[in-house]
């Protein structure tokens, strides 16, 4: 998602609470530059420039395998991991490999808007299952699965952002994850676990991943450097069963182009190997925690009665529900006049009408003062609408 | 294509005549590093790291528009061009946007192996049309089109490497291109013009592109820095009608991930803006011309009677035909024992049997001495086989 396209109206002085971007001033540009210069001047420089292994930079793979085993207890080996051109590159590859037009897939309601866009582009039939504050409702999921089974249809995968979800900020607890895994095995669908926010945790560690809980069986776990290092590098990874990694890395796309972005992946490996990324992560969590706290304080202080919101324990997003009868699209039009922008909820639902009362606030991108001011303006807009 | 996967058996001391890679020692690593360091230390550094415009780095787009108008007389504007993650990223995107599984597409026989692989992955029906030394035979193409029309099928596109083709090295003259364009308009299919070798010309400039000849109507022109700057950067471009660029850059994939590789594209822009790429191109043509000449001289000197080959005016490849009754797969097994590797012709045909007498030699990757020695070993192998 780019600023330019998401909101044409953004100009200097505006408050873009819609942007699910890292704050530019929190990206470790200087540290990354040092690593890049070190590698480009070193003996391995020529390796940076030619085609790479289909599964991606070997050094970055080794680093990630070690880290994921240490921090996420995944118990994986090198054969379980490949480097991607961001989690986007991974999601499009997984759609290519797992689906054809007309296939069924499962998502949360609400779910990540740009993922829905990708599924629509591919003419997939998207079935949205309601969530509560703990994520997808297993009974509702099973109802959907039974309905599809009666139609002799089998969904190819369930796509989920399980931790600090985009857009709601909620995290699915382990028990709920286990219930979904049991259904995935009974009804034979894959789980695409898009866990790009899990490293931005403010308090306790998030629950074990779907991959860890299932022992890897048909869970395709996506990770990314976009939220914690730099989106512009387009660097992420996929963890999966070794047979799946072998199958995916044998695709024509990877035979033709080689692995994802060999040049940037090698630079990322150099940066990570120095320990700089993990040091940066510790600092970054504090920075985003501070922004989350500022946002929650401002919400408590300014929001009129009848408005409710989530209290995310990590990530970038707060999900707000308006009082009955108010429409987030009207609010958007109203606050736009005061240069405040947010993402109305409709875009995150397969049936847009389900989202009219909701909006997503990103606390990641704007500085503290703007965050506070933006929420105050939002609250005033809601109060005015409520007053009729 | 990576060395590792294309030929597991490659070890130090071998002669990999199969590798369609630029020679590592001919990549302008030092010049690119200087540009990268300059940009990363400059004021625009923060722009390198965040999400980018869906159509790619604006500065690189402007540079390419100016250059393509100057050197290829395309008459395009900024709205006609988007940056890609290599021509591979472009070809997969075009398949996503133009086809669904089961659709028909047209290719040359022989055609680029990894493109065929991508089409097979997507379960497209691939119709291969024979070529002569001037490329696709228009009468044969029309016959295929008529056959499809009788079945009420319309191919979605014709995929072609028109200049210094991979694998044959041949170039389609303007007249032949015009005939294909006329058929594309009559039978309403797009032309994907994968022209990644056109800047590596040894003699005269190649004929006008399909894009230039058609005025852009439903020609999708792919270009790349992989063959002349560095494949590891994964940076290429697409030229098309403005409506097409608008449509493609509105895809879910680009909304989610932003434009192709913002970090590397910005570095490439910096490198190009200094004039370094065009200076490098002039030098590079001389280097590859020399390798082509060494290969042709060795072929004339060593090959037994009954072997014929193409004389490419640019690019990386020579296409060799064995005497009747000899099989390139047998030759591959025979010369492998002497550490020489090449790409047997079968892989470049939809019907592998059509390719048994052919082989592709890459003169781009191996140093001059190895090129000569490898061709001598090949010639000895052929002579032995011919002698029974």
Angstroms from B385 CA to nearest CA on chain A: 32
Q: Which of A49, A85, A120 sits opposite B232 (nearest CB)?
A: A49
pLDDT in tens, B9-21: 345 679 999 988 9
Tell me the average pLDDT across A143-156: 98
Nearest CB neighbour to A121, from listed B37, B96, B116: B96
Nearest to A155 by CA among A196, A125, A132: A125
Report the 10 Å Cβ neighbour count for A128.
21
Task: With cut-offs at 50, 70 and 90, classify the pLDDT of residue B39.
Answer: very high
pLDDT(A9) > 90: no
Q: Taking CB atoms and an 8 Å cutoff, what residues of chain B touch A115?
A: 252, 256
Among the partner residues B46, B86, B233, nearest to A29 by beta-carbon distance: B46
Contact: B46, A27; criterion CB under 8 Å: yes
What one-character-per-residue DSSP string does A132-179 give?
A: ETTEE-HHHHHHHHHHHHHTT---SEEEE--SS-TTT-----HHHHHH
Q: Which residue of B has its CA nearest to A91?
A: B253
pLDDT at B367 over 60: yes
Residue A339, pLDDT score:
95
Q: What is the distance in angstroms between the Cα of A308 and the nearest Cα belonging to chain B?
A: 28
Does the beta-carbon distance from B48 to A232 stay under 8 Å? Answer: yes
A291 — pLDDT class (breaks 50, 70, 90): very high
Q: Which residues of A touch B259 (CB under 8 A)?
A: 2
- Assign A378 a pLDDT band (cuts: 50, 70, 90): very high
- What confidence tier does B4 reach under pLDDT thresholds 50, 70, 90? very low
pLDDT, position B251: 85
pLDDT at residue A1, rounded to an integer: 38
Q: Do A261 and B1 touch (CB under 8 A)?
A: no
Q: How far is A78 from chain B (nearest CA, A)?
A: 16
Contacts of B261 in chain A (CB under 8 A): 85, 232-234, 261, 264
Tokens, residue B63: 């540079």
Q: Which chain A residue lies closest to B88 (C-alpha atoms)?
A: A257
Q: Which residues of B touch A365 (CB under 8 A)?
A: none
B contact test, residue of A21, A253, A264, A343 with most B CBs within 10 A: A253
Instruction: Output the pLDDT for position A3.
Output: 42
Other CB atoms closer than 10 Å to residue B157's CB: what's the count? 24
- Give the pLDDT confidence score for residue B208 in this predicted structure: 97
Judging contacts by C-beta atoms under 8 Å, the chain B residues touching residue A96 are 92, 96, 121-122
In chain B, residues with a C-beta closer than 8 Å to the C-beta of A194 are none
A44 vs B140, which has greater pLDDT? B140
A144: nearest Cα among A108, A117, A110, A168: A108
Residue B326 to chain A, least CA–CA distance (Å): 28
pLDDT at A11: 57
Distance from CA of B10 to the nearest CA of A (A): 14
Q: What is the mean pLDDT of chain A?
A: 93
Residue owning tokens 């989106």? A231
- Choose among B52, B117, B230: nearest Cβ to A255: B117
pLDDT of residue B11: 58
Alpha helices, DSSP H, located in chain A: 3-6, 29-41, 58-72, 86-98, 113-121, 138-150, 174-187, 210-214, 242-249, 252-257, 262-273, 276-302, 328-336, 368-386
pLDDT greater at residue B91 or residue A43: B91
Q: Which of B249, B253, B265, B277 to mutate to test the interface with A (most CBs of A within 10 A)?
A: B253
Mean pLDDT of B86-110: 94
In the predicted model, is pLDDT for residue B2 greater than 70? no
Report the SS3 class of residue B92: helix
| Torsion angle of C-alpha atoms A248, A250, A253, A256, degrees rounded to 10 | 150
pLDDT at B330 over 90: yes
CB-closest option in A33, A46, A253 to B29? A46
Find the CB nearest A253 among B51, B118, B258. B118
- What band does A12 get if pLDDT is binned at 50, 70 and 90? low
Contact at CB, B232 and A263, closer than 8 angstroms: yes
Topology of the domain comprising A32-274: 3.40.640
Q: Of A331, A329, A354, A297, nearest to A131 (Cα)?
A: A354
Q: Is the Cβ pair B49, A37 closer than 8 Å?
A: no
The pLDDT of A298-320, averaged and rounded, is 98
User: What would the mean pLDDT of A344-360 be, rounded to a whole number?
Assistant: 97
Nearest 5°: the CA angle B345, B351, B357 is: 35
Q: Which chain A residues contact residue B96 at CB under 8 A?
A: 92, 96, 121-122
Contact indicator for A326, A2 with CB cutoff of 8 Å = no
Q: Using a CB-CB distance cutoff of 8 angstroms, which residues of chain A are in contact with residue B25?
A: 46
Alpha-carbon span B280 to B141, nearest angstrom: 38
Q: Check residue B249 and give its pLDDT.
A: 92
- B48 → chain A, closest CA residue: A232
Q: How far is A334 from chain B (nearest CA, A)?
A: 25
Contacts of A123 in chain B (CB under 8 A): 100
Say if the Cβ atoms of A264 and B260 lie within 8 Å. Answer: no
The strands making up A317-321's β-sheet, listed across from edge to edge, are A308-309, A317-321, A358-362, A343-344
Helices (H), chain B: 3-6, 29-41, 58-72, 86-98, 113-121, 138-150, 174-187, 210-214, 242-249, 252-257, 262-273, 276-302, 328-336, 368-386
Candidates B46, B55, B252, partner chain A, best to mutate (most A CBs within 10 A): B252
Arch. (CATH architecture) of B15-28+278-387: Alpha-Beta Complex (3.90)
User: Rounded to two decimals, what is the model's pTM?
Assistant: 0.93
> Model confidence over A99-112: pLDDT tens digits?
999 999 999 999 99
Instruction: Give the distance from residue A388's alpha carbon to the nearest chain B alpha carbon, in angstroms.
Output: 36
Instruction: Give the residue among A111, A243, A207, A205 at the shortest CA–CA distance from A167.
Output: A111
Query: Across the interface, do B258 and A232 touch by the CB < 8 Å criterion?
Result: yes
- Residue A235 distance to chain B (closest CA, Å): 9
| pLDDT over 50 at A6, yes or no | no
Q: Is the pLDDT of residue B1 over 70?
A: no
Question: Minimal Cα–Cα distance from A88 to chain B, Å?
Answer: 6
Per residue in B237-281, pLDDT (tens digit) is 999 999 999 999 988 888 878 888 999 999 999 999 999 999 999
Query: What digits encode the pLDDT tens for the residues A224-254?
Result: 999 999 999 999 999 999 999 999 998 888 8
Best to test chain B binding among A116, A167, A257 (most B CBs inside 10 Å): A257
Q: How large is the average pLDDT for residues A334-358?
A: 96
Q: What mean pLDDT comes out for the span A140-162?
A: 98
Instruction: Delimit the domains of chain B by residue range.
Output: 15-28+278-387, 32-274
Beta bridge partners of A239: A81, A221
Closest Cβ opposite residue A256 in set B1, B251, B255: B1
CB contacts < 8 A, A to B, total 215
- What is the pLDDT at residue B102? 95
Decide if B230 and A263 are in contact by the 8 Å CB cutoff: yes
Contact A231 B36 (CB under 8 A): no
Identify the pLDDT of residue A2: 39
Q: What is the pLDDT of residue B256?
A: 79
Per-residue pLDDT at B226 exceeds 50: yes
CB contact under 8 A, B51 and A1: yes
What ipTM goes with this model?
0.91
The CA distance from B184 to the nearest CA of chain A, in Å, is 25
Q: Provide the pLDDT for residue B5.
A: 37
pLDDT band at B340 (very low <50, low <70, confident <90, very high): very high
Q: Kindly report, residue by residue over A68-123, the tens digit of the pLDDT.
A: 999 999 999 999 999 999 888 899 999 999 999 999 999 999 999 999 999 999 99
Q: Which residue from B41, B118, B266 is facing A252, i.e. has the nearest CB?
A: B118
Q: Indicate the range of A29-33, A127-131, A289-293, A315-319 predicted with least confidence.
A: A29-33
pLDDT confidence bin for A388, thresholds 50/70/90: confident
B255 → closest Cβ in A89, A117, A263: A117
């Amino acid at each position: 998602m780019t600023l330019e396209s998401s909101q044409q109206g953004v100009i200097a002085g505006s408050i873009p609470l819609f942007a699910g971007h890292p704050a530019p001033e929190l990206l470790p540009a200087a540290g990354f530059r040092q690593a890049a210069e070190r590698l480009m001047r070193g003996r391995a420089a020529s390796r940076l420039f030619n085609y790479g292994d289909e599964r991606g930079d070997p050094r970055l793979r080794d680093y990630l395998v070690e880290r994921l085993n240490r921090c996420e207890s995944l118990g994986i080996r090198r054969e379980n991991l490949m480097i991607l051109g961001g989690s986007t590159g991974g999601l499009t590859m997984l759609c290519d490999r797992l689906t054809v037009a007309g296939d069924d897939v499962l998502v949360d309601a609400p779910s990540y808007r740009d993922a829905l866009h990708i599924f629509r582009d591919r003419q997939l039939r998207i079935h949205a299952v309601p969530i509560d504050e703990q994520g997808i409702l297993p009974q509702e999921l099973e109802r959907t699965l039974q309905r599809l089974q009666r139609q002799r249809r089998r969904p190819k995968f369930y796509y989920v952002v399980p931790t600090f979800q985009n857009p709601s900020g909620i995290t699915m607890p382990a028990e709920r994850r286990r219930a979904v895994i049991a259904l995935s095995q009974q009804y034979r669908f894959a789980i695409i676990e898009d866990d790009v926010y899990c490293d931005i945790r403010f308090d306790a560690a998030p629950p074990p991943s779907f991959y860890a809980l299932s022992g890897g069986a048909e869970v395709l776990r996506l990770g990314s450097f976009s939220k914690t290092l730099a989106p512009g590098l387009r660097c992420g990874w996929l963890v999966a069963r070794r047979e799946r990694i072998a199958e995916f890395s044998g695709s024509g796309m990877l035979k033709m182009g080689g692995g994802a972005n060999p040049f940037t992946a090698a630079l990322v490996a150099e940066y990570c190997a120095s320990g700089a990324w993990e040091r940066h992560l510790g600092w970054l969590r504090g920075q985003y925690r501070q922004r989350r706290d500022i946002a929650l304080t401002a919400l408590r202080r300014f929001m009129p009665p009848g408005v409710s919101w989530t209290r995310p324990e990590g990530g970038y997003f707060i999900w707000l529900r308006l009082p009955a009868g108010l429409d987030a699209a009207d609010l958007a039009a109203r606050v736009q006049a005061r240069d405040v922008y947010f993402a109305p909820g409709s875009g995150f639902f397969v049936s847009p009408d389900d989202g009219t009362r909701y909006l997503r606030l990103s606390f990641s991108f704007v500085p503290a003062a703007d965050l506070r001011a933006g929420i105050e303006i939002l609250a005033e807009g809601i109060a005015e609408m409520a007053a009729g």
